[in-house]
Amino acid sequence: MAETFDTLTAVTALERFGEGSLSPEALVDDCLGRIARDNPKVNAFTCVNEVEARRLAEKSAQRWQAGAPLGPLDGIPVTIKDLTLTKGLPTRLGSTTTAPDGPWEVDAPISRHLRSAGAIVIGKTTSPEFGWKGVTDNPLHGITRNPWNIELTPGGSSGGAAAASALNLGLLHQGSDAGGSIRIPCSFTGTFGIKPTFGWVPQWPASAMSTLSHLGPITRTVTDSALMLNVMAQPDPRDGYSGNPHGPNWLTPPPVDLRGWRIAFSANLGYVEVAPDIAQRVEEAVAHLEELGATVERVDPGFSDPLRTFNKLWFAGATQALEKLDEQQQAALDPGFLDIARRGQDVSLSDYLAARRERSELTAHMAAFHQQYDLLVTPTMPIAPFAAGHNVPPGGAHRDWMDWTPFSYPFNLTQQPAASLPCGLDSQGLPVGLHLVAGKYQDLKVLQAAQLLERYLPLLTPPSLA
């Protein structure tokens, strides 16, 4: 029987490349075969880079045989989100308003850094139009589905990356997160993803959502995300917003335990209604933090829901897209996106500046909070995945996607590092995410705590799609 790599990690693949027990050609061939088998069911890819991936895998195999890999990711198949420029591959932003023939002549910083490290871009993954919402469907590529149940959404906006990661269709996956777009789909698909502190990972072109938007990895394990960050989080002169471009060694091993750490556990931020079965899985995961020696205190961070503040900034950012489109193109947009963009036109300059002030106040509040606590832990999502093709759970009272993602967007306002770690299954057998948040530039605390917790928690693998 041919070897398959449904759960292979990038770290293990690199070890096997080095010892000669696996070739990049075999790995890429297997990934492409499973993409051909599984992608029609989940619609995670906008395009597959088959011919070029095979050519690059052959070159990588020759380098490994010569003992001279190109870089720390040589031969590893990766995916890039459709919002990210990738030379030679279409970046359509999930929109029929974009040109189908490019030209696609430039790599964004992330694409360039990954390729320079030897990674093989195996394809581009789906996003909602312009990455505007917390689920993944768009007028150009249709609906992306959850590998755990294809009737359900994988979340978004990095839903294609998360679905591909859950199925290991490629080993490392790039996501972006301006309001939860890495952490929402990671929670819904049982994968790990981190929104690093704003400024670590360069962005160009700048997001329409400006300094709300963070770029980061989505993977099946914490260490694979750290491996990816060691490559992604490098400076690029095109990024006009870089805050602290020289990052740590993201692969710094965790401590033996968490003795001396003070962790705040907030089950609901003081104002969120959480499904009981999700709350139970989160409680069980938090108990492991205590087993690791941390002092865990049940305490809310002490802020009220900043949704109005977030929406003013988000809607105003969405409005920028309309300025470039004529009436016919606007009519072709996702109706939900068109709605929030037009609502953004009603945000006055005074309201916008007030939202920025409120944002700075929340940022200062959380900076003071993290003077006392190494981490804040919450659920990632208060609800389970719902029917695909809907922006909000059908039959509920929610109007916008932000209404059902209350744990994620506050920490885009504050630009803190925040990750979602799978912590078990709910009563329906669907993944639950644990949300880990640290103070700005304290990303290693998130990664190291997650690595230690991961040892207590099962690796989640979706049921067969056959």
89: which DSSP letter? B
- Please give the structure tokens belonging to residue 411: 């920490």
> Any catalytic annotation for residue 81?
yes
Amino acid at 215: L
> Any catalytic annotation for residue 266?
no
Amino acid at 156: G
Asked whether the beta carbons of 341 and 209 are under 8 A apart, the reply is no
Residue partners of 217: CB distance under 8 A and separation at least 6: 172, 173, 174, 175, 193, 194, 224, 225, 228, 229, 232
Can you tell me the distance from the alpha carbon of 180 to that of 420, in angstroms, rounded to the nearest whole number? 10
> Any catalytic annotation for residue 181?
yes
Q: How many C-beta atoms lie closer than 10 Å to residue 387's C-beta? A: 13
Can you tell me the distance from the alpha carbon of 446 to that of 450, in angstroms, rounded to the nearest whole number? 6
Residue of 177, 209, 259 lying closest to 437 (CA atoms): 177
Of 23, 157, 207, 420, catalytic: 157
List the alpha helices (DSSP H) in 191-296.
222-232, 276-291
Residue 292 phi, psi (nearest 5): -80, 0
Of 23, 127, 181, 187, catalytic: 181
Asked whether the beta carbons of 94 and 143 are under 8 A apart, the reply is no
Residue of 453, 456, 10 lying closest to 255 (CA atoms): 453
Of 23, 60, 81, 165, catalytic: 81
In angstroms, how far apart are the furthest CA atoms of the chain? 66
Residue partners of 108: CB distance under 8 A and separation at least 6: 84, 85, 86, 203, 204, 205
The Cβ-side half-sphere exposure at 30, using a 13 Å CA radius, reads 22
Active site residues: 81, 157, 181
